[in-house]
Every structure is written in structure tokens, then in C-alpha cells.
């Protein structure tokens, strides 16, 4: 199974009472598929997973699976810093029909490299569906080293990693030594093209909510050998990539979605909406990009 090159880490739409707005979930899934998304991550960081209950997450998995209807793969964010809880939740997600799992490096309890290996091994062996590792030291406070990732890559249903370390030495080590079929995804929009050049396969993206078509063109240009075109797209998209992270994710991508007519609502505490001065920067940059390619 392939999850494609442009995977979107989907926001969770809320209504005015900050309850999940399932009608907007449907609309957002349709929008993402129409603008090039090949797979959708549900209940990842961008989906505000720490602020969602267990039952809410399962309801989201079921709804996105039903709405996508096989047109895009659905990847459930089921990883946590409890191995036992992650195993149980991953099995529940598999039972409702998701296509794969995204498993974050355990946060707060700071396991050793061997602890990480045993954690991910236990989860992967408890399910039959493909698993994607997620290394994001900026949020977990620890880095999963290349050797650990490569050990895990030998487990048959661990098929990819989302690398948000920004360490190109580590990324290159993984891409050059990984077994055939094991894929590396960028976890940072702004590093999509550089990581493709270093051997990555695709991106698990935030910006694709609002510039999916443009990102598809950038990726396709690179894959087809049109590197100058790909670099041009990278330069045009960089202001958006940077702008969406001027405040804590996903506050600004939710604001950007509102700008293009997607009523996905606000964020739940402890996140708060970004200041208007920052929102206006994103509005200006998004407007300039869309006007340029109208």
C-alpha cells in the first residue's frame, strides 16, 4: 500500500461551542481530495489530538473513512506516551477501517532508544495495517536516532517515517540505508523540496489545506526531473510555509481555511486564536500567491 506523496495532517473542525462539526469534517475531506491530497492524517498534532477525547477520536476516524470512501487513504494518529494505551487504541482504529497509523515518539517520559524500539515494535505487532513513525524532537524533547528508525524499518508493517528533526545528516542516513519500500516523509512544509532532494518520498503537510494544488505541482515537477520548476514553486510557497507557523499550529492554518471559505472554527484550550496582526500576515501572503496563479 502507498499513501502517496501529498499527505495532509487534517485540522479538526469545531462549531461555535467547540464541539466537532461533522458537516465541516465532510466538507474539508472533500476539499482536500479535490486539491491533491492522497492520504489524510486524522487526530495528529494539527488535528489537536491532545484536546480530543478517546470517543471523539474514534468518531472522527469513522467519519473520515466513510467520507473519503477509498478516494484517499485515512491514517489515524494513535500514538501516545503509553505503550499499552497506544496498542489498544491502534487496534480500535484498525477495527473501524482506517488504512494506517501515525505513531509519535513517546513524549514527556523520555525513553531510551531501546525503549522507543520496543514501544513501536509492540504497537506494530498488535495490528495488521501499515504504521508510520513520527519523529518530532521539538515537541517530544527527544530524538529518535537513525539507527533506531532503521531497526524499526525491518518490521514488516512499519512502512515509513515522518521526520521532523530537520537533521539532514540523520535524514540522509535513513534514506540511504532503509530497506526497499520504506519511505521517508518530510514533517515540515518548508523542507519538502530539500528533503525530496535528500531521498524523501513526500510530505505530511499542514499547508496543503490551502495550497494543495500548488504543492502537488512542486512535488510533480521534482519527480519528473523539472528541478528548476520545482525550485520556483518552493520559492513562491515559502512565504506561506513560514507564515502558517508564526503562531502555534494549527491556529493559523485554521484561520487560513476560514479565508478560503472553509468554516472550521477555532481551537480548543490551551490553544488560543492568533493575534490579528499575525493573521493579517497570512491573509496577505495567501492573497498574493493566489493572485499570482489566478
Give 171-200 pLDDT, tens digit per residue.
999 999 999 999 999 999 999 999 999 999
pLDDT tier at 290 (50, 70, 90 boundaries)? confident
Predicted pLDDT of residue 291 = 76
- Tell me whether residue 227 is annotated as binding: no
Pairing between β-strand 39-42 and β-strand 158-163 as defined by DSSP bridges: unpaired
Segment holding 161, helix H or strand E: strand 158-163
pTM of the model: 0.97
From the candidates 117, 162, 185, 201, give the one annotated as an active-site residue: 162
> Residue 294: is its pLDDT beyond 90?
no
Dihedral sign (CA 52, 58, 61, 66): negative
Distance separating alpha carbons of residues 247 and 269, to the nearest angstrom: 14
Give per-residue pLDDT as tens, 13-37: 999 999 999 999 999 999 999 999 9
pLDDT digit string, tens, across residues 123-160:
999 999 999 999 999 999 999 999 999 999 999 999 99
CA distance 217 to 203: 13
Q: Which of 117, 134, 185, 201 is catalytic?
A: 134
pLDDT averaged over the chain? Answer: 97
242 labelled catalytic: no
Q: Is 73 a catalytic residue?
A: no
What's the rounded Cα separation, in Å, for the pair 116 and 64? Answer: 29
Q: What pLDDT, in 10s, does the model give residues 40-95?
A: 999 999 999 999 999 999 999 999 999 999 999 999 999 999 999 999 999 999 99
Domains belonging to the chain, first-starting first, are 6-224 (3.20.20.70)
Q: Is 67 annotated as a binding residue?
A: no
Amino acid at each position: 500500500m502507498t499513501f502517496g506523496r501529498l499527505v495532509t495532517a487534517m485540522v479538526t473542525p469545531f462549531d461555535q461551542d467547540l464541539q466537532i462539526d461533522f458537516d465541516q469534517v465532510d466538507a474539508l475531506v472533500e476539499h482536500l481530495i479535490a486539491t491533491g491530497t492522497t492520504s489524510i492524517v486524522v487526530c495528529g498534532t494539527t488535528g489537536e489530538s491532545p484536546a480530543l477525547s478517546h470517543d471523539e477520536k474514534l468518531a472522527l476516524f469513522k467519519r473520515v473513512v466513510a467520507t473519503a470512501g477509498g478516494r484517499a487513504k485515512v491514517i489515524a494518529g494513535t500514538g501516545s506516551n503509553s505503550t499499552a494505551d497506544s496498542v489498544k487504541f491502534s487496534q480500535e482504529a484498525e477495527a473501524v477501517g482506517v488504512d494506517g497509523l501515525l505513531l509519535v515518539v513517546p513524549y514527556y517520559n523520555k525513553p531510551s532508544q531501546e525503549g522507543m524500539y520496543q514501544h513501536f515494535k509492540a504497537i506494530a505487532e498488535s495490528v495488521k495495517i501499515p504504521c508510520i513513525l513520527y519523529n518530532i524532537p521539538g515537541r517530544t524533547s527527544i530524538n529518535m536516532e537513525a539507527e533506531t528508525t532503521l531497526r524499526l524499518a525491518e518490521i514488516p508493517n512499519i512502512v515509513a517515517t515522518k521526520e521532523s528533526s530537520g537533521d539532514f545528516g540523520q535524514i540522509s542516513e535513513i534514506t540511504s540505508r532503509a530497506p526497499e519500500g520504506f519511505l521517508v516523509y518530510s514533517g515540515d512544509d518548508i523542507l519538502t523540496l530539500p528533503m525530496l532532494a535528500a531521498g524523501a518520498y513526500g510530505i505530511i503537510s499542514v499547508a496543503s489545506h490551502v495550497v494543495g494544488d500548488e504543492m502537488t505541482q512542486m512535488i510533480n515537477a521534482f519527480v519528473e526531473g523539472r528541478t528548476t520548476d520545482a525550485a520556483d514553486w518552493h520559492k513562491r510557497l515559502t512565504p506561506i510555509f513560514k507564515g502558517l507557523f508564526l503562531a502555534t499550529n494549527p491556529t493559523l492554518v485554521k484561520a487560513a481555511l476560514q479565508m478560503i471559505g472553509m468554516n472550521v472554527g477555532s481551537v480548543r484550550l490551551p490553544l488560543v486564536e492568533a493575534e490579528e496582526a499575525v493573521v493579517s500576515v497570512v491573509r496577505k501572503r495567501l492573497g498574493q500567491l493566489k493572485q499570482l496563479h489566478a
